[in-house]
Amino acid sequence: MKLRALPLSLALAGVFLLTGCREKTMPPQVAMIIRSTVESETLPATIKEQKERARAWEEMRRFYKKRQYQPAWSDVNGPRPQAEQLAQAVGSVAATEGLDPRRYHSERLAGLLSQMKEDKSLESAEAQRRLADLDVEMTFVYLTLAAHAAIGRVQPETLRIHWEDQSRNVDLDARLEKALQSEDVAASLRSLAPPNPRYARLRDALARYREIASRGNWPKVPEGLEKGARGPGVLALRNRLAAEGDLPPVPEGQQPLPVFDDAVAQAVARFQQRHGLEPDGKMGEDTLAELNVPVQARIQQIEINLERWRWLPNTLGDSYVWVNVPEYRMELYDEGRKALDMAVVVGKQQSQTPVFSDMMEYMELNPAWNIPTSITEGEILPKLASDPSYLARNNMEWVGDGANQRLRQAPGPDNPLGQIKFMFPNEHDVYLHDTPADHLFAKEDRDFSHGCIRLERPVQLGEYLFRDNPDWRGGQLREAIVSGEHRTVKLPKKLPVHILYFTAWVEDNGVIHFRKDVYGHDQKLAAALAQEPVVPLDLPALRGDVRAGV
């Protein structure tokens, strides 16, 4: 009998297990709360008016709709490991990438996580609401930080600046799904940073300058120092130059000499070169001003230029023309190698050179200048009113009829376009060209044009672009120019042209450079970033809980 009773007792035990240890399920109220939150139409202005936040919100809506509004960062047993990783990663990733960690409130996420862990079950309405709010907030923070890291915190069209490049196209929803399936949420966020090595070098420089700041600001350098000077002022100069590596540090156990010697003069010259100043090793007014820019200001300058990298596409191409307006330089890259490097003149303050990318298609030899209406009305017509012979003396004539009539200056030695120009047709009517005013290239600040970019050695650029064409070898390009004949020559292959605006960058050799904010773009961007609101939202208010008195 005992043997027969055993199966019955096992059966009873099985029934007990099935009824007493029923599998946990997610309460349906959680999905309802998430849905009512993300489908809210009462979005705050901080979302509606900011492109990257609006994009994050729309991505979040689609994300939850695909998963029937089920939570992503928690399950019936509480927060998943990825939730802990996100709370820990937000601050560090934001800081590393030059974003503002305070905007993402990692402490708030950690606090919400802590509250969730205290809930023993999801039976109460409060526990369900906490889980739903934590999930939505984590998703929104992830997507917003991802958008900021990928395409920027502020978009250039909101700043009233001439920046019209195409930003990267990043699938944030796919990145979020991948992060939730991974074991390293921080890595998924870091992978969203611009892939260009120039960005990575500038990001590394940010870490170095923050390390300098952690030791206190570098010393202020007094006026009146010159070679041969001695005293505490020279010690301040030595320490200042050593802070950024322009002067080698004094070996441990030794004291720096309080004298302005050859080594200090050479270090000053290196500093000047990195800041676009004449490298004469002398302590002029501009050099002193740059030396006394606080380290925090340099940190902000680096962060601003990291932001600009997020406005650019994934790649600039293997071969392209790069013009950096504040640097007053053009570089030509051929299959990733710098092939040419020359000075340029850019637009003055009232006729700024815009930031954009396009494709160079052809060059013109001995070009005529079709004078823009703004120059005709603002400069030439007043001169013509007082000097009827002005047009004839300057080889200008009216062309066209009626509303299409405009001034044109014939090719010649006084033509502002010089003897050659490189065309990438665009709405700004901006191009690269020669100039008869060669003396301007000797100046440190070279913002003198009406917006176009004047080249220091334009013929050299033309010869390089047509180096594989036998019709233009052996000085034939120069001969064609000397002939005075106007010719249009199509490039063998279209070439990307990127006209950009960077006031801080790091060369391949690791040397960092800074430049003046010639158009005030840094100032505008810094003000916009300072006004950016925090990321976390008032989720109960979005759902209407506050108005409903819940």
C-alpha–C-alpha distance, residues 120 and 127, integer Å: 9
Average pLDDT, rounded, for the chain: 89
321: pLDDT strictly greater than 90: yes
The pLDDT of residue 160 is above 70 = no
215 CB-contact burial (10 Å; exposed 0-12 / middle 13-18 / buried 19+):
exposed
Q: What is the pLDDT of residues 179-200, one digit of tens each?
A: 999 889 999 999 999 999 999 9
Least confident of 114-123, 211-220, 328-337, 456-465: 114-123
Q: Are 272 and 253 in contact (CB under 8 A)?
A: no
DSSP string for residues in 175-233: HHHHHHHSS-HHHHHHTTS---HHHHHHHHHHHHHHHHHHT-PPPPPPS---TT-BSHH
Non-local (6+) Cβ contacts of 369 within 8 A are 408, 409, 415, 416, 417
Model confidence band, residue 23 (pLDDT cutoffs 50, 70, 90): low
Tell me, what's the pLDDT at 236? 96
Strands 447-449 and 432-433: unpaired
Average pLDDT over residues 509-531: 95
Percent of the chain surpassing pLDDT 90: 66
Picking from 157-161, 343-347, 516-520, which range would have the lowest pLDDT averaged per residue? 157-161
Q: Is residue 162 pLDDT above 70, yes or no?
A: no
Q: What percent of the chain has pLDDT over 70?
A: 93
330, 338 contact by CB (below 8 A): no
Is it the case that residue 1 has pLDDT exceeding 70? no
Q: Which two three-digit tokens encode residue 61?
A: 């809506």
Tokens of 72: 């992503």
The helix or strand, by DSSP H or E, that contains position 24, with its residue range, turns out to be none
Nearest to 210 by CA among 309, 306, 275: 306
Question: In the structure, what pLDDT confidence band is assigned to residue 402 with cuts at 50, 70 and 90?
Answer: confident
pLDDT of 54 reads 83
Please tell me the distance from the alpha carbon of residue 221 to that of residue 239, in angstroms, as a whole number. Answer: 9
Q: Which residues pair with 97 in a beta bridge?
A: none
What is the C-alpha to C-alpha distance for residues 457 and 169, in angstroms, rounded to an integer? 36
Count CA atoms within 13 Å of residue 7 on its CB side: 3
Residues 6+ apart with CB under 8 A from 33: 128, 129, 132, 133, 543
What pLDDT is recorded for position 412?
84
What's the sign of the alpha-carbon dihedral 523, 286, 447, 385? Answer: positive
Instruction: Enter the pTM of the model.
Output: 0.89
Q: Give pLDDT, residue 354.
A: 93
Separation of alpha carbons 311 and 327, rounded Å: 19
- Distance of alpha carbon 189 from alpha carbon 118, whole angstroms: 28
3-state helix, strand, coil in the chain (%, to 5): 50, 15, 35
Please give the residue that has the higher pLDDT: either 535 or 293.
293
What's the half-sphere exposure (Cβ side, CA atoms, 13 Å) at 82? 23
CA atoms of 125 and 132, how far apart (whole Å): 11
Three-class SS of residue 376? helix
- Residue 459 to residues 174, 371, 413, 477, Cα–Cα distance (Å): 48, 23, 15, 8
Residue 394 has pLDDT above 90, yes or no: no
Question: What domains are defined for the chain?
Answer: 25-192 (no CATH), 218-293 (1.10.101.10), 316-367+411-500 (2.40.440.10), 374-407 (no CATH)
Lowest-pLDDT choice from 40-54, 88-102, 116-130: 40-54
pLDDT tens figures, 481-508: 999 999 999 999 999 999 999 999 999 9
Are 188 and 91 a contacting pair, CB within 8 Å?
no
| pLDDT for res 547 | 43
Query: Are the C-beta atoms of 82 and 180 separated by less than 8 Å?
Result: yes
Q: Is the pLDDT of residue 458 over 80?
A: yes
Three-class SS state of 250: coil
Beta bridge mates, 507: none
- Write out pLDDT tens, residues 123-139: 899 999 999 999 999 99
Average pLDDT for residues 315-331, to the nearest whole number?
Answer: 96
CA 330 – CA 324 distance, rounded (Å): 7
Q: pLDDT, tens digit, for every residue of 41-55?
A: 877 777 777 777 888
Does 21 have pLDDT greater than 50? Answer: no
- For the record, the structure tokens of 300 come out as 């902000």
Tokens of 504: 């801080």
Residue pair 165/320 in contact (Cβ under 8 Å)? The answer is no
The CA-based dihedral angle spanning residues 423, 424, 426, 429, taken in that order and rounded to the nearest 10 degrees: -30
Q: How far apart are CA 534 and CA 409, in angstroms?
A: 55
